[in-house]
Amino acid sequence: MSAWINENPSYLEHLIPEYQGNPLVEALNPPPADIGESFRMLALRPTYHPEELELPTSTRLLLPKRLESFMFPSVQHAEIHQRIYSQVIGGYCQRNPVNPNGRQQKSEDAEFNAAFYPDDVSRKHRPAEISILTGESGMGTSSLIRAIMASMGKQVIRHSNYLGETLNEDQILYLMRKVPFQGGVAALSNSLVNHTDSLLLTSSYDKRFNKVSARKLDYTAGLRYIINNHNVGAIIIDDCQNLRTTKSYRWTELTDFTLNLHQEFGVPIILVGDKHTAEGLGNDRSIARSSVVHELQRPVGPGDISWSAFCKFVWKYQWLQKPKPLTDEIVKTLFSCTQGITGSMITLFISAQIEAILSGTEMVDAKLIEKIYRDQLHRFPTQKVVKPDMLRSIMLLK
């Protein structure tokens, strides 16, 4: 059994009447009851065992990299979690495979070729919501959306029996692909198709789409078949900022593609990118009217409670034999070197631990953090980071 496939779903009756009797909703994990539960659902801790501190140096050098899969939820993460959960569940409201309307909708796409000549009049979809999740590079937007979707259940759910009745349905909770650096909607659509085959452990869709011309209409219609035939809960398009490195008309292609999925198929759309993504997509009034923007805000300073909590939690995961306690000086230094970008902080902390192991000092302090930043990280900036000395000068000027 594949780790991402739920072969034996259990069904929990929903508290809201319009979702009751819908196996696509009842097979999902219930929403978080409060912010605390949302924290627990989203948190991702690295594996850590105290006895690992006694391992040989060459082995311990490999362990700090575990922090790359680390996620410490904040209040804004929990709020976005609740909103995205509601969006995906809402998209399933009118898509119930066991009621007459749901079966009629499925029958419209019973044959693959029929999907390429859709009857606009017969569609009864209510347009779903579009979410735009943005944040500066390194703030973990992609990790957050993956954690949110994982909290809802496995990516593929295979229904076989619902309330004593046979129900042969596949449910893909979400399809998530990155915008390719080269190519536009056609390449993105092809990636979504290939991903569908990977999730379902088949090769049928790739073969079928290879027979189809690369016109945008064909790709959109083909995706309509996949969405309906496999009860796709959401389409997630990641790294939308990649379109800025290609031809300018790619933005228009993406907005047209997004609006087609939104208006015609009733499937929620989640666009993920850097802080310029919302600006680029917001130029289209149709997108702006139908979308909700969620922006991950970085801490405003080293005294921000979210930053100090993040540092305190991360600091626990040290594979050093003489770890120092976390101090205000260290918290301030970490912030001045990374400007509150959580991904940069993790990279810096990993590098500092590796240096501490290699040098034999077996401890990380503020001086080592500044040294690692100067010697290793600021030469290849991924952010516009203010250097520690420059930050002090700015504070004095104020």
Where does the pLDDT of residue 9 fall: very low under 50, low under 70, confident under 90, or very high at 90 and above?
very high
The model carries a pTM of 0.85
Task: Name residues whose C-beta falls within 8 Å of residue 265's C-beta, 6 or more positions apart in sequence.
Answer: 125, 128, 223, 224, 227, 228
Where does the pLDDT of residue 113 fall: very low under 50, low under 70, confident under 90, or very high at 90 and above?
very low
* CB contact at 8 A, 152 and 31: no
* CB contact at 8 A, 6 and 156: yes
Q: What is the rounded CA–CA span in Å between residue 304 and residue 31?
A: 29
What confidence score (pLDDT) does residue 187 get?
A: 81
Picking from 265, 261, 269, the residue whose alpha carbon sits closest to that of residue 174 is 269
342-358, pLDDT tens digit by residue? 999 999 999 999 999 99
On the question of pLDDT at 389 being above 50, the answer is no
Decide which of 3 and 188 is more confident.
3
* CB contact at 8 A, 135 and 147: no
Pick among 1.10.1760, 3.40.50, 1.10.3470, 1.10.760: CATH of 5-30+74-296:
3.40.50
* Window from 9-13, 116-120, 154-158, 311-315 with minimum mean pLDDT: 116-120
18-67, pLDDT tens digit by residue? 999 999 999 999 999 999 999 999 999 999 999 999 999 999 999 999 99
Task: Name residues whose C-beta falls within 8 Å of residue 160's C-beta, 6 or more positions apart in sequence.
Answer: 166, 167, 168
What confidence score (pLDDT) does residue 21 get?
A: 94
pLDDT, averaged across the chain: 83
Range list for CATH 3.40.50 in the chain = 5-30+74-296
On the question of pLDDT at 379 being above 60, the answer is no
Percent of the chain with pLDDT over 90: 59
The mean pLDDT of 131-147, rounded to a whole number, is: 93
Dihedral, CA atoms, 317, 77, 31, 161, nearest 10 degrees?
-70
